[in-house]
Chains A and B, each alone.
Chain A
Amino acid sequence: MSVTAAEAPLLEQGRGGGLRGVAGRRFLLGLLVRKELRVRYRASVLGLGWSYVKPAVQFAVYFVGMGLLLRQNVIGDYAVYLFGGLVVMTAFSEAVGNATRSVVANADLVRKIYLPRELFPVASLCVAGVHLGPQLLVLVVGAVAAGWSPDLVGVVCLALGLALTALLALGLGLVLASVNVLFRDVENVVDLVLMVLVWTSPVLYPWQRVAELLGSDSVWFRLYQANPLTVAVELVHRGTWAHASVGNGSSLPPGLGPRAVAALLLSVALVALGQWVFRRLSGRFAQEL
């Protein structure tokens, strides 16, 4: 008998520390992320390369379809504009989509061994982060090639935009993963929403089009602008695209600063809510799976 065992306090099992519990199991988190990547690209020649082929094709389709055919390339440096927005959308969609399925997909573990269950959605987020890395590099190189000389505000905005995306994905992922255990409908609804998501932020077109359509002081337009994901896209635009050419910056929407603060507060609240919902429901995971 180890000495520590004799001295250890009597503890209730299955009471994890939530996200803090995840922070204490970083080694396991790393293994789970590696497992996820390994499993996804098993027996594939291109391996991790596939995660770049998909965004590349998506980018090409939008660039030709929206940019050349539908003339959205009136936006200066349209390639940088488009790719900046797509980077946010791709990472967000992947993180939320996989987090939603993460607990159900690990049913075997959830039913047999106690772990901080938050590990599974957090691992999904990390996997999306791994895929994001090289795309981010492409974005920055592209922006520099287009004429961006990295400025401090820009880099901060880029980092904030990505942090905002991660927080949003984590908060939503926690809620959706836990509710999906009870109602598998959730994953289908999530797929639907993710499909239209790219249209609900200024990724493919300039924000002025939406202002013209909805009226720039209408409630709907304010809602559109308050969407935290819209703020994240605009922050990334501010970071990379705005200073790539003279004149880009002036077509950024006004009031980005206050909206960024509001969106960050909202996303932090969302993470807290997600943690609360997840904890409430996680006691039922083992018997529902």
Chain B
Amino acid sequence: MGSTAVEIHGVSKHFRLRHTHSLKESVVWALQGRPQRDDFVALHPLDLTIAQGETVALLGRNGSGKSTLLKLVAGVMTPDTGRVRVRGRLAGLLEVGAGFHPDLTGRENVYLNASILGLDRAQITARFDEIVEFADIGPFLDTQVRFYSSGMFLRLAFAVAVHTEPDVFLVDEVLAVGDEAFRAKCIERIARLGAEGRTLVVVSHDLPLVEQLCSRGVVLDRGHLVVDGEVTDAVMTLRVAG
């Protein structure tokens, strides 16, 4: 095991849920004496260290704080307490196709999205053919993305993301894409990223898949870290909890 790739130290996050969204509503709610906001703790202070080359599955039920944790690692949100540090270039695939614009062509979107994910012009040009080949969208490359079928859209978006070759790769529940053949290709590609020694953090409810892709399992429950160990143990815990 190499040096630390992701270090999460004492990180917590709470959200303030506002129930009122206009002046009128807040006056009415205030007169009725109802509280206008609730605090919701998404993550209790949490420590987690991931070494370079580790493949980690973040597991837990809906609302357990997995996605919040991933967003904190990606730097999209800032934690209330503690800090997150990452070594090397990070790419977050928190949603397939974030940053794709329907009015641009596939080609333009590849450049835009790869650039958003941190590549420079030369790197994108060098990988362009590979991306297009992986996406396998044939003659639609120069068509506006709005005319793509949803499967084609996902294939292109996924192709861009996996070809940015980050040092740390975050994947949030995006493997349920495309048809069976493309899904297999994606999984094979992600497994290869892992085999190349890149750090992988995967959030998924697909337990068999996670067992296949990851070696380490971390289970969250209502914002607490409850299991951190072999992926099989983590999956077992979840299955038992039902």
Point out residues on A near B: beta carbons under 8 Å.
Answer: 1-2, 4-6, 8-15, 25, 27-28, 31-32, 34-35, 38-39, 42, 108-115, 283, 286-287
Hey, which chain A residues are within 8 Å of B73, CB to CB?
13
Contact A112 B92 (CB under 8 A): yes
Q: Does B27 contact A (CB under 8 A)?
A: no
| A110 vs B120: C-alpha distance when bound (angstroms) | 20
Tell whether B95 is near chain A: CB-to-CB under 8 Å: yes
Q: Which residue of B lies closest to A42 (CB)?
A: B103
Instruction: Select one of A10, A14, A109, A283 contacting B116, CB under 8 A.
Output: A109
Interface segment among B30-38, B75-83, B126-134, B221-229: the answer is B75-83
Chain B residues near A (Cβ < 8 Å): 2-5, 7, 15, 52-53, 71, 73-78, 83-90, 92, 94-95, 98-99, 101, 103-104, 108, 111-112, 115-117, 120-121, 167, 196-198
Residues of B within 8 A of A114 (CB): 74-76, 92
Question: Chain A CB within 10 Å — which of B95, B98, B99, B116 has the most?
Answer: B116
Asked whether, in the complex, the Cβ of B15 is within 8 Å of the Cβ of A113, the reply is no
Residues of B within 8 A of A110 (CB): 76
Q: Which of B76, B83, B117 contacts A286, CB < 8 Å? A: B76
Q: From B146, which residue of chain A is reached at the shortest CB distance?
A: A42
Task: Check A28–B87 contact: CB distance below 8 A.
Answer: no
Can you list 7 pairs linking A and B with CB atoms under 8 Å apart? A1-B167, A8-B87, A27-B115, A31-B115, A32-B112, A42-B103, A111-B98
Q: How far is the CB of A9 from chain B (nearest CB, A)?
A: 7
CB closest residue in chain A, given B18:
A288
Q: Chain B: which residue is nearest A108 at the CB level?
A: B98
Q: Across the interface, do A12 and B92 meet the contact criterion of CB distance under 8 Å?
A: no
Q: Are the CB atoms of B104 and A5 closer together than 8 Å?
A: no
Contacts of A286 in B (CB 8 A): 71, 76-77
> Are A12 and B116 closer than 8 Å at their CB atoms?
no
Known: A27-B121, A31-B112. A10 touches B78 (CB 8 A): no
Q: How many angstroms between the C-alpha atoms of A12 and B86 in the bound complex? A: 6
Complexed CA–CA distance, A263 and B2 (Å): 55
B65: shortest Cβ distance to chain A, in Å? 14
CA of A10 to CA of B90, assembled, Å: 11
